[in-house]
Structure 1
Amino acid sequence: MEYAELARAESDRGDVVLRERAGDGPTALELRVNGIFVMDTVETSSETTLARQALRLLEEPRRVLIGGLGLGYTLSAVLADHRVEHCTVVEIEDALVGWMRDGTIGHGPAVLADARLSVTVADVAVALAETRPASYDLVVLDVDNGPGYLVYDANAALYREPFLATCRRVLDHEGVLAIWSADEAPELEAAMKGVFGNCRARSCEVELQDRQEHYWLYVSRVPSPA
């Protein structure tokens, strides 16, 4: 396998690296944070599945917030749904947004050009704390691969009750919070139940490199007013 570094950025959280990978299979872009593989442009099934499964939970997902831009595949799948009237994506790494905008990530400019999209460069916890109540129908958290696979240690707070309560506040009546996880996460399920009064762990099969992988989607819904 051969690698060529395309872009690198340093922040208070460490380094973010975009590199090109070439070998026996198709050439791919690969995103790494502090040396840890995050995602690439070959295996995108999990991002697409997350978006589609979450969108199916609502009849009218008009206003959607995504925590985490990554390489834009979750976002692309959300924008492919004609029911979505506005989507906000919150990404903490300014450099990653820049690489999507300037074409360093080739498909980036077309994705970010969608008129329904707004991009906020911030910690998703800070962004949601500053958001008005009942602003969204759907909040999708795609920051990590669940609480067991954190990109940054500080992200552990995103799976605990204080932040989950913030998510509930920004959701409209019957709005949905959907969180993706590579493994079962009983503590997350308990925290979501504590905040919303309900949580469903949905099993999702995803095909990666001709093999079936098992993921989980944790879903809570704001109850209808009595």
Structure 2
Amino acid sequence: MEYVEIARAETERGELVLRERREEHAPTALELRANGVFVMDTLEVGSEQALAESALAQVEHPRAVIVGGLGLGFTMHAVLADPRVEKVAVVEIEQALVDWMRAGTIPHGPALLADERVTVVVADIAVALTEARPASYDLLLLDVDNGPGYLVHDVNAALYETPFLEAARRALRPGGALAVWSAADAPELAETMRSVFGNATGYGHDVRLQDRDETYWLFVSRVPSEA
């Protein structure tokens, strides 16, 4: 297996690297790593698709969606495929990643960001939610880590705790939902979500990753609909 570096950026959170993975008898893939942690690649995108589709299924009218984490854009792409979605706000903390998408360093980036429904905000998702108008979104998808047990940055632990979850609830409209992606079961997260929203359900998704079977998880909490 051979790796060819495509782009690199040094940020206050560490190193962000985009590299091409070349393997005999396998398609070439782009791979994103943050602070030395594998984030995602362009071949195994089933988890991003499952996150979006499962989350969208939880809401009757997901007109306004906020996605925490741009990554390589596949969660956003799956959200945009739903005709019910009228606008998508993507909150990404790394300016370099947004620049790579816009410039075509990530080849499919310009086409995705050209969708008129998309707004990209370079910010910490926790700050963005604090500043969001109450009841302004129908769905929040949190996809900034591989889950609470596999943090890209240690400070992200706060995204799975009560204050952030309360901010998420305030930003959601009645009938809206929060969906959090995790690479493993996270019962403590589910319990914290349940304490804030009054409900939480975990959904396991079986995926095939590099010749091995894995189960990824989506944790969903809903805001009650108005009577």
**TM-score over 0.5 for the pair:** yes
Matched position secondary structure for 2:129: helix
Q: 1:211 offset after TM fit, Å?
A: 4.2
1:204 and 1:106 mapped to 2: Cα distance? Answer: 28
1:203 aligned partner:
204
2:12 aligned partner:
12
Runs of 5+ consecutive residues of structure 1 not aligned to the other structure: none
Large movers: runs of 4+ above 3 Å? 209-212
Percent sequence identity over aligned pairs: 65
Matched position secondary structure for 2:199: coil
1:54 and 1:175 mapped to 2: Cα distance? Answer: 10
Q: Any residues of structure 2 matched to 1:129-140 within 5 Å, and which?
A: 129-140=130-141
Is the Cα–Cα contact under 8 Å of residues 66 and 141 in structure 1 kept in the other structure?
A: yes
The residue type equivalent to 2:6 in the other structure is L
Q: 1:210 offset after TM fit, Å?
A: 5.1
Matched position secondary structure for 1:132: coil
Runs of 5+ consecutive residues of structure 2 not aligned to the other structure: none
Is the Cα–Cα contact under 8 Å of residues 2 and 21 in structure 1 kept in the other structure?
A: yes
Matched position secondary structure for 1:191: helix
- TM-score, normalised with respect to structure 1: 0.97
Give per-residue Cα distances to partners, 1:106-142, cap 9 Å, x unaligned. Answer: 0000000000000000000001100000010000000
Give per-residue Cα distances to partners, 1:62-101, cap 9 Å, x unaligned. Answer: 0000000000000000001111000000000000000000
1:216 and 1:42 mapped to 2: Cα distance? Answer: 19
The residue type equivalent to 1:19 in the other structure is R
Q: 1:209 offset after TM fit, Å?
A: 3.8
- Is 2:36 the counterpart of 1:35? yes
Matched position secondary structure for 2:75: helix
Matched position secondary structure for 2:208: strand
- Is 2:193 the counterpart of 1:192? yes
1:81 aligned partner:
82
Q: 1:204 offset after TM fit, Å?
A: 1.6
2:59 aligned partner:
58
Q: Any residues of structure 2 matched to 1:1-226 within 5 Å, and which?
A: 1-24=1-24, 25-209=26-210, 211-225=212-226
Is the Cα–Cα contact under 8 Å of residues 41 and 72 in structure 2 kept in the other structure?
A: yes
Q: 1:150 offset after TM fit, Å?
A: 0.5
Matched position secondary structure for 1:104: coil
The residue type equivalent to 1:35 in the other structure is G
Higher deviation after alignment, 198-207 or 121-130: 198-207
Is the Cα–Cα contact under 8 Å of residues 135 and 174 in structure 2 kept in the other structure?
A: yes
The alignment's C-alpha RMSD in Å is: 1.0
Is the Cα–Cα contact under 8 Å of residues 31 and 39 in structure 1 kept in the other structure?
A: yes
Is the Cα–Cα contact under 8 Å of residues 45 and 208 in structure 1 kept in the other structure?
A: no
